[in-house]
Amino acid sequence: MNNQQTFSIAVFDGDGIGKEITPPCLDLLQLACELASDDESAVSLDFQALQAGAGTYQETGESLPEASVAAARAADAVLLSAMGDPAVRYPDGTEITPQIELRFRLGLYAGIRPVRAIPGVPVPLADPRARDIDFVLVRESIEGLFAPDRKGTRVDGVEATETLLITREVSEKLFKHVFALASRRKSEGSSGRVTCIDKANVFGAFAFFREIFYELAEQHGDDALTMEHAYVDAMAMHMVNQPWNFDVMVTENMFGDILSDLGAAIMGGMGYAPSADIGDDHAVFQPCHGTAPDIVGKGLANPVAMFLSGAMMLDWLGRRQNCQAALKAGALISESVDAAFESGNLRTCELGGDSGLNEVTAAVTAQIKQR
């Protein structure tokens, strides 16, 4: 074959249902790559299993071993499943979150959280326009209230403080990524509406964030895009009463953490919500949901968010490495998920049904083979 490209993928299968949804996702990715390859462009994936998470912490005393970080840094992309366990915590009482540490270590400032209604998956909003929800929330992922070098303080059980960090360097990178994403979506038929979400009326840090947004918007010079801002409390309301009106949103880390879960809810649940965290040189792709210890081993885990995160990974690799087969494989997975659910016969546990891991995987796999 001409133009054969092989990408190295660092794989963290994590904890809980993460270990259940990872193997079928890897199989699906390989199948999609095989079917998408032809004489003009071919793609294959070389998976490397790495250790991290609550289980690793219990075994080794490290939640994210240095060897795993080095291997992730050397890979073309990172596919990360759900991590953590509420019963396993650091000595200070906080949960095991190596996925967050990995964002800091790899400089992954742009957290991409797509919110798109999947055909056949019930959404909680009654308005029929909710069937057309398709926007992207971009969460700054290494600063804000999560900034690792600005730890909070506690004083004698009397008071506690946290520091919100916004820097020009990271914000400019973030907004440039957002504008490029919005321009691409505009070329594919979206509205090109870009909304900066903040609380600039109360906090100086958010006023600074908004100022940089408009500075970069002016420099971007794309008249096809509509630039605007909204307060986070108002946006929480808008995401419920008019989410179909938005295209690309960008916000600070903590606000993005909260609003992305709201976005997952309005598309049917966390089991349908994929994500990516992207930096200058690296990217991590993972489902938004947790490890769900209450359903581990019951076969009820919903693999859709993991499948769609894998599709996002292929799309990113395809665009970054100019690999048409990878782009085609990513689209094949997304289209097959839609086709599998469109009939309405699949109902996963978060929607009150009993369509579990094996049934959903079989349905999506069958659709890929038919396309």
Predicted confidence (pLDDT) per residue in 10-44, tens digit = 999 999 999 999 999 999 999 999 999 998 999 99
Residue 153: predicted pLDDT: 84
pLDDT band for 151, please (50, 70, 90 cuts): confident
What's the mean pLDDT when you consider all of the chain?
Answer: 95
Residue 202: predicted pLDDT: 96
Instruction: Give the span between the Cα atoms of 53 and 70, in whole angstroms.
Output: 16
**Which residue stretches of the chain are H helix?**
18-36, 54-60, 66-74, 98-106, 168-187, 204-220, 232-241, 253-266, 304-321, 324-342, 357-370
Domains and CATH numbers, the chain: 1-108+271-371 (3.40.718.10), 124-266 (3.40.718.10)
Q: Which tokens go with 42?
A: 């071919």
Mean pLDDT, residues 246-252: 98
- If one compares 2 and 240, the residue with the highest pLDDT of the two is 240
Could you give phi then psi for residue 193, rounded to 5 degrees? Answer: -85, 120
310 closest CA partner among 329, 332, 339, 285? 285
Q: Taking a C-beta distance cutoff of 8 angstroms, is the pair 87, 293 a contact?
A: yes
How many Cβ atoms sit within 10 Å of the Cβ of residue 106? 21
Neighbouring-strand partners of residue 229: 196
Residue 156: predicted pLDDT: 85
Residue 2: predicted pLDDT: 63
Predicted confidence (pLDDT) per residue in 56-108, tens digit = 999 999 999 999 999 999 999 999 999 999 999 988 888 889 999 999 999 99
Is it the case that residue 252 has pLDDT exceeding 90?
yes
Instruction: Give the span between the Cα atoms of 275 and 313, in whole angstroms.
Output: 9
Mean pLDDT, residues 191-202: 97
